[in-house]
């Protein structure tokens, strides 16, 4: 269920193992291919996309980065990934580009991918034959399956259909959000800049040599109408600006506010329905982990399903939730750590600011602290 990164990568992994699947998606193809979200792929995510044959454009157009910069108290400090992680890197490539490549690959397999499905209801997953009922092009359809993969994001139906009491929810809200823009302007720096500033956090990222992606910490209930383009550029300039450095401006082509929260449900399974990606966990975006975790989940799920279909061995499926939750909680911690270190706390005091600055200077001056940040950022091979 769901044609986001989790659902599409899972479907492709299953296809490569010769296992049939039907992908159901409530939105249109057009909508999915233009929905602007994450942009940083861990080394392991990019390698997996390559290995399953959907990495051609990613390798051509993706921007390989060997570090990020942390900015505070008017200075930038570089964290170098390859030297701190045994040669690992990240690739900057928009989530909607990953989704485009995966949709094209799925359609090429000629296996079913149905867009704009309606009235989806899942049932029977505590029996041996789960069912999915849905509407498509005016028809009502009932699908009987061996398993349901709930890859339908944070507002999907799969998690909501699990009986109350079967799941434990772990949650944290943050008192801020990100205002994100895409601008038709060349990036102003070769690498991402995470800036801690007394006016709030700011992030300089990019999508291509001609498109910049920028974020500002704002209030969770921020009204976009209060942010005309000049105010956004002005605020970015104040938070990211340094002597001798200018921020390239350009036409703003996309604007949005994203709330920030941490959320995990355990276990990520109920009978024959498995949850993967945002349907089971949300991280605040500061560590750039959301998309990468979704892909990591389905990689494990595909192995478990393959063992079951190939030789009736259900042991990997039984371990699925426990196995993926180790990585999920590592990413939850890293995302919380980056978020807490870099955002201005509205009700924080001078003591909080001193603690954040102490942590930032530690990360930028101790090779061991820098290595810890770097290995989490590029993605841990084993958790
Ligand atoms: P999704 O991509 O959400 O895919 C789920 C799919 O299921 C969707 O296509 C949805 O339409 C479909 N669906 C939902 N309900 C149904 C239904 N009933 N039937 C059928 N289909 C259904 N992460 C970062 O790391 N950095 C970022 O900057 C960042 N920015 C983000 C900005 C926004 C606005 C959002 C919402 C998320 C952002 N994320 C970011 C998180 C990242 O995009 C997600 O972690 C990632 O999309 C997870 O992939 P997924 O496949 O699990 O879920
Ligand atoms: C981007 C998003 C993130 O959450 C992040 O930490 C770094 C970059 C991006 O959209 O480019």
- Tokens 């040669």 sit at which residue? 87
Q: How many angstroms does the Cα of residue 32 sit away from the middle of ligand 1?
A: 10
The alpha-helical segments, DSSP class H, found in 241-289 are none
pTM: 0.97
pLDDT given for residue 348 in this prediction: 85
- Measured CA to CA, the distance from residue 280 to residue 264 in angstroms comes to 6
Give the helix/strand (H/E) hosting 31: helix 29-34
- Measured CA to CA, the distance from residue 69 to residue 92 in angstroms comes to 15
Q: How many angstroms does the Cα of residue 291 sit away from the middle of ligand 1?
A: 8
Judge if the beta carbon of residue 282 lies within 6 A of ligand 1: no
Judge if the beta carbon of residue 289 lies within 6 A of ligand 2: no
pLDDT given for residue 61 in this prediction: 97
pLDDT given for residue 180 in this prediction: 98
- Those residues of the chain that have pLDDT short of 70 are none
Judge if the beta carbon of residue 294 lies within 6 A of ligand 1: yes
pLDDT given for residue 169 in this prediction: 98
Q: How many angstroms does the Cα of residue 40 sit away from the middle of ligand 2?
A: 6
pLDDT given for residue 60 in this prediction: 97
52-94 pLDDT, tens digit each = 999 999 999 999 999 999 999 999 999 999 999 999 999 999 9
pLDDT given for residue 87 in this prediction: 97
Q: Which of 22, 36, 156, 254 to mutate to test the pocket of ligand 1 (most atoms within 8 A of CB)?
A: 156
- Measured CA to CA, the distance from residue 269 to residue 319 in angstroms comes to 10
Judge if the beta carbon of residue 91 lies within 6 A of ligand 2: no
Q: Is 273 within 8 Å of 159 (Cβ atoms)?
A: no
Active site residue 285: yes
pLDDT given for residue 205 in this prediction: 98
Active site residue 155: no
Q: Is 343 within 8 Å of 200 (Cβ atoms)?
A: yes
């Amino acid at each position: 269920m769901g044609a986001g990164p989790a659902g599409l990568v899972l479907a492709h992994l299953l296809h490569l193992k010769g296992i049939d699947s039907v992908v159901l998606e409530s939105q249109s193809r057009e909508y999915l291919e233009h929905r602007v979200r994450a942009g940083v792929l861990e080394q392991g995510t990019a390698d997996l996309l390559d290995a399953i044959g959907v990495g051609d454009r990613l390798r051509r157009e993706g921007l390989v980065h060997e570090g990020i910069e942390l900015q505070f108290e008017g200075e930038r400090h570089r964290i170098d990934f390859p030297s701190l992680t045994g040669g690992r890197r990240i690739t900057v490539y928009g989530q909607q580009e990953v989704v485009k490549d995966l949709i094209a690959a799925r359609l090429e397999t000629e296996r079913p991918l149905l867009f704009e499905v309606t009235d989806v209801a899942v049932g029977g997953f505590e029996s041996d034959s789960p069912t999915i009922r849905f509407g498509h092009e005016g028809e009502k359809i009932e699908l009987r399956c061996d398993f349901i993969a709930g890859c339908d994001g944070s507002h999907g139906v799969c998690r909501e259909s699990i009986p109350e009491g079967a799941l434990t929810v772990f949650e944290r809200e943050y008192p801020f959000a990100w205002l994100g823009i895409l601008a038709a302007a060349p990036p102003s720096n070769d690498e991402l800049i995470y800036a801690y500033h007394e006016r709030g956090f700011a992030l300089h990222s990019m999508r291509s040599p001609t498109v910049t992606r920028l974020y500002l910490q704002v209030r969770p209930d921020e009204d976009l109408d209060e942010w005309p383009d000049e105010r956004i550029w002005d605020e970015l300039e104040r938070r990211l600006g340094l002597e001798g450095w200018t921020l390239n401006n350009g036409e703003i082509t996309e604007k949005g506010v994203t709330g920030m929260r941490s959320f995990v449900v355990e276990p990520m399974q109920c009978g024959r329905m498995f949850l993967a990606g945002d349907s089971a966990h949300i991280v605040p975006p500061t560590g750039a982990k959301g998309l990468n975790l979704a892909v990591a989940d389905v990689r494990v799920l595909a192995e478990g399903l393959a063992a079951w279909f190939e030789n009736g061995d259900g042991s990997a499926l039984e371990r699925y939730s426990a196995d993926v939750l180790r990585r999920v909680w590592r990413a939850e911690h890293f995302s919380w750590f980056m978020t807490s270190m870099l955002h201005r706390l509205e009700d924080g005091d001078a003591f909080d600011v001193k603690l954040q600055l102490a942590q930032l200077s530690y990360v930028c001056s101790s090779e061991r602290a820098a290595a810890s940040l770097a290995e989490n950022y590029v993605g841990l091979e084993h958790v």
